[in-house]
Homo-oligomer: A and B are copies of this chain.
Amino acid sequence: MSSSSAAPAAKPPMRDALVAAAFRLFSERGYEQTTVDDIVALAGVGRRSFFRYFPSKEDVVFPDHERCLADMTAFLAASGPEHEPVRRVCDAARLVLQMYAENPAFSVQRYRLTRKVPGLRAYELSVVRRYERALARYLRGRFAGLPDGTLRADVIAAAVVAAHNNGLRSWLRSDGQGDAGAAVDHALGCVQREFAHPRDAGPARPAARVTALTGEQAASPADDVLVLVTRRDAPLWRVVRELEAVLDRA
- Given A205-B231, A232-B247, A232-B250, residue A237 in contact with residue B145 (CB < 8 A): yes
Q: Which of B147, B163, B222, B239 contacts A154 (CB 8 A)?
A: B163
Assembly CA distance A157 to B165 (angstroms): 13
Interface size counted on chain A using CB atoms at 8 A: 69
Contact A233 B224 (CB under 8 A): yes
A152: chain B residues within 8 A (beta carbon): 190
Q: Mark A108-130, 1 if CB is under 8 A from B, else 0.
A: 00000000000001110110010
Docked complex Cα distance between A236 and B193 (Å): 9
Residues of B within 8 A of A207 (CB): 202, 205-206
With A206-B203, A244-B147 as known contacts, state yes or no: A235 contacts B162, CB within 8 Å.
Answer: no
Q: Taking the complex as formed, is A155 at the interface, i.e. its CB lies under 8 A from any CB of chain B?
A: yes
- List the number of copies, as a whole number: 2
- Measured CB to CB, the closest approach of chain B to A62, in angstroms, equals 13
Which of B187, B190, B211, B236 meets A145, CB within 8 Å? B236
**CB of A158 within 8 A of chain B?**
yes
Q: Judge whether A214 is part of the interface by a CB distance below 8 angstroms.
A: yes
Query: A147 touching B226 by the CB < 8 A rule?
Result: no
Supposing A190-B155, A193-B236 touch, asked if A230 and B206 sit within 8 A by C-beta, the answer is yes
Interface residues of A in 198-241 (CB under 8 A from B): 200-207, 209-211, 213-214, 217, 221-237, 239-241
